[in-house]
Amino acid sequence: MSYALPPYAEALGIGVDPADAASPVLWFDYSDRVSGRPGFLHGGAMSGLMEMAAIAALQAELERRGEAMRLKPVNVAVEFMRGGTQQRTFASGTVTRAGRRVALVNASCWQDDPAKPIALAQLKVLLSPAE
């Protein structure tokens, strides 16, 4: 997969694991850069990680189909369920529906156990054929 992480993801120290999976898992380690209230992860950092994971999943899906599309995020809804603690945080996306014009992608964020997400996100992305 030829998914290149943007400067924001690089700066946050986001890693992709493994980069060629159907739905890549993105992660970052806990640091002051991603902390919110003392000792806990910032919700915005979780959201950023989930958005990156959702876009990565969508790009992987479009690549499998051989479709070159320009992506434009329309909106994102994030639910925070648990406080993120001082450890590695993961996120991955699932393409729920990708039509010709719009895609719906769900993403989850977890720490210890993927079955116990700390946050969920749902993204809508407008698709248009790349020039």
Partner 1 sequence: MTSVDAPLNLHDLPSDYAFDPGIAATMMTRHGHGGWLGIAYHAHGPDWVELALPWREELVGVAETGVLASGPIISLMDNATSMSVWTLAKRFIPHATLDLRVDYMRAAQPGRTVIGHGECYKLTRTIAFIRGIAHDGDPLDPVAHVTGTFMATHGNYL
Binding site for partner 1 (CB under 8 A): 4, 6-12, 32-38, 42-45, 47-49, 51-52, 73-80, 83
Distance of closest approach, residue 35 Cβ to partner 1, in angstroms: 4
Query: Phi, psi at residue 72, to the nearest 5°?
Result: -135, 110
Closer of 19 and 71 to partner 1 (Cβ): 71
By beta-carbon proximity to partner 1, the closer residue of 11 and 22 is 11
Cβ-contact 14, 27 below 8 angstroms: yes
Report yes or no: 28 and 14 within 8 Å, Cβ to Cβ: yes
Closer to partner 1 by CB, 8 or 100: give it: 8
Q: How far is the CB of 9 from partner 1 (least distance, A)?
A: 8
Q: Within the chain, where are the H helices?
A: 7-11, 43-65
Separation CA 16–CA 93 (nearest Å): 12
- Considering the complex, what minimum distance in angstroms separates the CB of residue 99 from partner 1? 19
Report the residue number, 6 or 114, with the smaller CB distance to partner 1. Answer: 6
Assign 70 to helix, strand or coil: strand
How far apart CA 21 and CA 37 sit, in angstroms, is 34
- Least distance from partner 1 to the Cβ atom of residue 105, Å: 13
